[in-house]
Amino acid sequence: MTRIEFIEFLKEFRKDLEENKSNWENRTLEDFLEAMEAYTEDVQGFYDNMKMNVDADKPTWENFKTILKGASIYE
């Protein structure tokens, strides 16, 4: 994923929040950041469970996208 593709993802991500707020577990910035912190700690487990060959310790735009999406629903 390129930086430009990530920017497009962010636009769609924000639009999804605006249009589907009820589907988001973490709607306030405080809740979202708390979930983002927790999801970042657990994301390697997600990759492993999904049999994805991804190293969460190597930052990429794709990893950051996964973390943001996860934080929107992570409890």
For the chain, give the percent of residues with pLDDT over 90: 96
State the pLDDT at residue 48.
96
User: Region 50-61: what's the mean pLDDT?
Assistant: 95
Stated pTM of the model = 0.85
pLDDT band, residue 75 (cuts 50/70/90): confident
Give residue limits of the domains in the chain. 3-73
Whether the per-residue pLDDT at 43 is higher than 90: the answer is yes
**pLDDT the model gives residue 38:** 95
Nearest C-alpha neighbor of 63 from the set 74, 49, 52: 52
What's the CA gap between 7 and 51, in Å, rounded?
Answer: 27
